[in-house]
Chain A
Amino acid sequence: MASRKPQLPKSVLDMKFMKKTKERIQKELENTEDHDSLYSNIITNEMRSAAGGNYISESSFIYCEDLMDGRLSFKGMNPEIERLMELENEPLIKEEDMKKDVSDEVLAKKMEAFNQRKRPYSSPSTVAIKKKKH
């Protein structure tokens, strides 16, 4: 952690007005060292290996089996629930529509034509401005 924090160079810390900051940094260092030594006899290697690693524990089946929501309504029994069910399915339909809208090829062609139109205009206009200045 200490290595990640930006540290002031020693020459700056030695200056007179940095006295308080220097003291504070020293205190912080001492504190972290104390913590490590304080718990070193309690924290065993087993505890270190048990925490973290590549394991994620999950006590529920819903994420393992990818289950759907359990509240359902059909044929207008509960319009409120059916609206929510539709909203859940909607994003899938929208994504498909977005793909169909303008294909990459069409966009590339249009942009090419647009750039070609733009370039010939840009050079004469600058010339015209220069002429006016003269």
Chain B
Amino acid sequence: MKVVVGDVVLPGDQCEFIATIAEKSRVLLGPGLRKEVDGVFITKAGLLRRRAPNTFWVDGYQKRYIPARGENVIGLVTQKMGDIFRVDIGSSCHATLSYLSFESATKKNRPKVEIGDVVYAKMLVASKDMEPELVCVDSNGKKNRLGVLEDGFVFKCSLNLIRKILSPQCMLIESIKNEWPFELAAGMNGKIWIKAKTMRETVAVGNAILASEYLTNEEIKSICCRMY
């Protein structure tokens, strides 16, 4: 079936208009779209979205994480194997994290990571056929915002919610950032880590995030006012 932007699309649908645009200019095909020999096809169910100038993707409800290069994720260290850690990131297989990919880590100076630790890491290798690989440093060898997350509270949510709260249009973080001190790490794999001064505050931030999944910006503002 032929589709246009904003439509509900199903796997197998063909996007002829993207092919015509691609004849003149560059097109970025995001998740859910695939270039085949005889056209561009949908591979996921959801809404077809477009962002200027020519970025297309399919926005669908999803809870299973599919590793993608460059994304920041929250993982749980499940095993130590010689020079790598195995990290559970909620995808179909575990990811690996080398002990050398931490800031100022050397063969002699090992980072302090134990089984059961929660790490915030960047996806370095994510391919269909191989195990994903994580790193806790940026390209300059600095830890930047990555590393082991100490204390705090982790919970799961859908991947859409993560994208919603991290989008620049969403008012949730704007509304709750002035209430009390707290720290937040949102992994693109549908895990959120929160750390606040008291348990009450932690739970309140967590509930606010979970409640905002199906709310508009105005509704989010009103629940944030009632929060305390």
Interface residues of A (CB under 8 A from B): 46, 49-50, 53-78, 81, 84
**B85 at the A/B interface (Cβ < 8 Å)?**
no
B183 & A72 in contact (Cβ 8 Å cutoff): yes
> Which residues of the partner chain B approach A56 to less than 8 Å between Cβ atoms?
26-29
Q: Which parts of B161-177 form the interface with A (CB within 8 Å)?
A: 162-163, 166-168, 173, 177
Footprint of A on B, CB under 8 Å? 22-31, 34-37, 40, 49, 51, 55, 57, 66, 68-72, 120, 126, 144-146, 162-163, 166-168, 173, 177-178, 180-188, 195-197
* Whole-angstrom CA separation of A53 from B18 in the bound complex: 13
- 23 A–B contacts from the bound complex (CB under 8 Å): A50-B35, A50-B36, A53-B35, A55-B26, A56-B27, A56-B28, A59-B66, A59-B126, A61-B163, A70-B120, A71-B120, A71-B184, A71-B185, A71-B186, A72-B173, A72-B184, A72-B185, A74-B177, A75-B182, A76-B181, A77-B195, A78-B183, A84-B144
Instruction: Beyond the given A53-B35, A61-B31, A78-B195, please list 20 additional residue pairs across the A-B interface where CB-CB is below 8 A.
Output: A50-B35, A53-B22, A56-B28, A59-B69, A60-B70, A60-B71, A61-B68, A64-B30, A64-B57, A68-B168, A69-B72, A70-B120, A70-B166, A70-B184, A70-B186, A70-B187, A71-B120, A72-B173, A72-B185, A84-B145
| A to B contact number (C-beta, < 8 Å) | 129
**Do residues A73 and B27 form an inter-chain contact, with CB atoms below 8 A?**
no
Closest 3 CB pairs of A and B: A60-B68, A70-B186, A75-B181
Q: Are B30 and A61 in contact (CB under 8 A)?
A: yes
Contact B173 A67 (CB under 8 A): no
Q: Which residue of B lies closest to A73 (CB)?
A: B183
B51 touches A64 (CB 8 A): yes
Docked CA distance A15–B83 (Å) = 60
Q: Most chain-B CB neighbours within 10 Å: which of A55, A57, A63, A68? A: A55
**Contact present for A69 and B145 (CB under 8 Å):** yes
